[in-house]
Structure 1
Amino acid sequence: MTDSVDSPHRRTKAAGKRQRLTAATARVLHEQGVERTTIADIARAADVPAGNVYYYFKTKDELVQAALAEHTGHLEELTGILDRLPCPRERLKGLIDAWVGRRETAARFGCPMGTLAVELDKRTGGGLDLAAGQVIRRLLDWVEQQFRLLGVTDPEGRALALVGAYQGMSLLSNALRDPEIMTREGARLVRELDSLA
């Protein structure tokens, strides 16, 4: 007997291919940018025939949306892991450690969400720039909550400063091709956290 068109095996296989395409899209857009990336680039990175991409994603904007969903998933996964740490200061230090752990990638390509948000802001229409901003907003909200739990004054301002420091060190690390900027600035951010009452 053969598998029906909508068999569990086929659905699982299709979901796996879609996930490979989504992960490849996020990676390739980060490395090459939206405008320079082609459907063929994504298909090659996902190891699928180029025609298959159109089965899952009809337009480049749909691929960008998939990449944003992938970044959101990574952020939720990271913050979920960090939420298991016993105190907000340790969670924030863990976040900084995760940023510094990606210093080689940042030195080559910048922050995945920061660079994508800037590039999407330069495009006209579609609202993808606003969607990218929502991913960054999730990070800001999580960081603000940690500062709020620490009981510091102006948790919103501190969250903006911390995430802004990350964006700055990613940008400088990328512009100067120097991953050690991330290491030094990350250590400075940790010292600042330790100095909070």
Structure 2
Amino acid sequence: MTSRPSSQSGYTVILIDNAMLPPPPPPSNWPKCYPIVYHNIEADFTNEDFKKKLRRSYFLFKFYFVTLLANSIADIAISITYLSGAQIVSQIIASALYLFLMPIGDFFLRHMSLYYGYKMNSEMMFRYYFLGEAIVIIFGLFIGIGFVNDGSSGTLGAVKLFERGYYVAGVFTGIFLVLDVVQTILHIILTAQVCPFVFRGGVNDSC
């Protein structure tokens, strides 16, 4: 920005050099149906290792949604087996809220924390990321074993269902359990890869 005196006294002409201004923030592009945040792994990062881990993290966000969807279907199948009409409707509403809130929390707390941790080299963002991973892993273990809702869709619930001959609900529960085990293992692996200093004895400035 420069200024020069005007030919008329008392006035100053200000010239603004646009090249000196910071670039405007990129437009929001996620989710595509209603963009509220900017998210572009390929454009924001040149480090291939960062890209690889962020792609895996984003894949796990989508896999987490599929796992939660399977859990909701299993819960609804169990509700149809055990409960009355009003209780089934209540379970469907609860499952819909569950599917809406949990993936959003995973995306913003866990995945985007890793995204900005790499982008800004922010120790605080990495802490939020590890907090998000801890929540996902611990929750996955609890719901997989069946401590949540008295074992409704976990291993404990699946055993009860097959013992009582409710095979349809048992199969849906089994599908959820497979997905839950896989996603929990993948989250543990990614967490170990993000911070080798902690998990493998390597060196990582962000840890």
TM-score w.r.t. the length of structure 2 is: 0.32
Point out which structure has higher relative CO (alpha carbons under 8 A, 6+ apart). 1
> For the pair shown, which has the larger CA radius of gyration, 1 or 2?
2
TM-score w.r.t. the length of structure 1 is: 0.33
